[in-house]
Amino acid sequence: MSLFSNLYKGLLKTSSRFSDGVKSIFSGKKKLNQSLLDELEELLISMDIGHKTSKLIIDRLASIKFDKEVEHNTITQQLMDEIEAILNPVVQPLTLDKKPHIIMVCGVNGNGKTTTIGKLAYKYKEMGKSVMLVACDTFRAAASEQLNIWAERSSCSIVTGEHGSDSASVAYRAVSQAIKDKVDVVLIDTAGRLQNNVNLMEELSKIYRTIKKLDGTAPHDVILVLDATTGQNAYSQLEAFSKMVNVTGLIITKLDGTAKGGVVIGLAEAYKVKLHAIGIGESIEDLREFTSKEFAKALFNCD
């Protein structure tokens, strides 16, 4: 199945709401006036694109098409162009330029963080890289067990700690071993936490600082995994985690389970943080890099 086909399938709930909404507003040829622009802005906001980004898109649209007769196909194409322009600067695949290349992954409980690490491990093993998984969630026994399963599936090494042990010490031991063994990629799984839990957020910062003691340039990527179904809450999660660690990029999961896929656009415009990949299914292959053009087309089910 092609990348576009996968994106279309994964974004079906979002694309149906987008395309149906635009068709409903612009059924037949209409002159683009303020009333229609207001309706369109409400549609964009309802997709969790965010007020500021929605207004930005509408203002651009108005500057080009205001008081001109338009059909829904014309508006759809213009919206696709605007969305592509917003995504272009931030869509960037993960690149490995260090050895070991240390990737720290964080996020709140339930966002798909550990599963995302498993999918990344599979991807890098398929590329012929040696991969080490690090279980820094020492509070939840099931977390280490889940990561162990992914390690077995992808034939990766794994470093774990005793239940309740200091997670920063686990990270230190793992990174030291990875440097010694010349491992290509280190994927560090941190404990899922609510962004308002001060103690757990401080622990995340401690892991970050501990890694830097071994390699001043590391972690080379700090990825925040966000669940698209949380909508507006994704914005507050990014803000909170960015205060504790230098979040360098995002992976958005569960886009196949929501009609609020517009959150990707809002995050891109509001925070300018790199967008590495999206999750559009449960399969091990369903973590997808993508281009802004294909994503914009998939949002409106346009091939």
Question: For residue range 258-275, what is the model confidence (pLDDT) as tens digits?
Answer: 767 789 999 999 999 999
pLDDT digits (tens, 9 = 90+) for 2-52: 555 666 777 777 888 888 899 999 888 889 999 999 999 999 998 889 999
pLDDT computed for residue 3 by the predictor: 55
* Residue whose tokens read 């490995």: 96
d(CA 229, CA 76): 24
Q: Which residues are annotated as a binding site?
A: 107-114, 189-193, 253-256
The pLDDT confidence band at residue 102, using thresholds 50, 70 and 90, is very high
pLDDT above 90 covers a percentage of the chain that reads 61
pLDDT computed for residue 200 by the predictor: 74
Q: Which residues are annotated as a binding site for GTP?
A: 107-114, 189-193, 253-256
Indicate the SS3 state at residue 195: coil
d(CA 178, CA 102): 9
Tell me the residue ranges of DSSP E strands in 193-301. Answer: 221-227, 249-253, 274-279, 287-288
Residue 302 has pLDDT above 80, yes or no: no
- What secondary structure does DSSP assign to 87-155, as a single string? HTTTB------SSSEEEEEE--TTSSHHHHHHHHHHHHHHTT--EEEEE---S-HHHHHHHHHHHHHHT
Residue 1 has pLDDT above 50, yes or no: no
d(CA 208, CA 172): 10
| Ramachandran angles phi, psi of 268, nearest 5° | -60, -45
d(CA 190, CA 294): 32
| Ramachandran angles phi, psi of 105, nearest 5° | -115, 130
10 Å Cβ neighbour count for 300?
22
Mean pLDDT value across residues 284-298? 82
pLDDT computed for residue 173 by the predictor: 97
User: Any idea what the Cα angle at residue 68 is, between residues 66 and 73, rounded to 5°?
Assistant: 95
Host H or E run for residue 186: strand 185-189
Mean of all residue pLDDT scores within the chain:
89
pLDDT digits (tens, 9 = 90+) for 183-230: 999 999 998 766 566 777 888 999 999 999 999 999 999 999 999 888
